[in-house]
Amino acid sequence: MGILNITPDSFSDGGKYFDGKLNPDKILKNAMKMEKDGADFLDIGGESTRPGSEKVSVETELERVIPVIELIRKNSDIPISIDTYKSEVAEEALKKGADIVNDISGFRFDKKIAKITAKYNATCILMHIKGSPKNMQVNPVYENVVEEVYTYLLESILMAENAGIKQIVTDVGIGFGKNLQNNLDLIKNLSVFKKLGYPILLGVSRKRFIENISQTPVNERLEGTIAANIAGILNGANIIRVHDVLENRQAALIADKLK
């Protein structure tokens, strides 16, 4: 899954495609490159959910993502994921050609989003988060991070199933209300989440826990990302969400063969 953040303030690529206004030529060029490099889906987001980030309005989010979805859909049939927890944004994105709703809250922040996803027969990605993006990294504490994330995702799955959603993907939410050890424990124990019965998405690309280990700035975390993704694949990840598609796909092919 290739990442396209249409935001001015995402932790890694904020401002790359949007700095007060959209840069459609750059967006399309990079989207098509991701597809050529082997992306199976593109994940488009219009609100940064980095630690400490502020919410944006529905209107602002729509202004960022809808033109991008329309642009990509005119030029490609690649499946598109809308990275949002707002039902209004999800519905407009699905109307314009998105196929997947990727909700960082696992359907907790907006109770209408499950029904919207089902209405358009879309796939959902249900992620675990502790708290909100604004406060999630303020001393997160767990008694047993694997058990608590598992229970949370199970409850989200039941919400999705009860709404009539047929295709579900789970995401343990690396970096979303977790400290370094929590993140490592989840990656090492991904196989536990296979018991939920659905594919697992892993999102580690360029995240801060890599810096905590290797003291690398955000633009120098490709090697750490690849290492974490290989470990994740060997432990059960089915989808990896990445900024650098070509390099991570090459690594994933090797990990698949080893597995």
Catalytic machinery residues: 207, 241
Angle of helix 145-163 relative to helix 180-188, nearest 10 degrees?
70
**What is the three-class DSSP state of 102?**
strand
187 in Cβ contact with 231 (< 8 Å): yes
202 in Cβ contact with 175 (< 8 Å): no
Q: What share of the chain is helix, strand, coil (3-state, %, to 5)?
A: 45, 15, 40
What is the Cα–Cα distance from 98 to 104, expressed in whole angstroms?
Answer: 17
Residue type, 182: N
What is the Cα–Cα distance from 118 to 93, expressed in whole angstroms?
Answer: 14
Task: Supply 136's token pair.
Answer: 């999630």
- Strands 100-103, 80-83: pairing is parallel
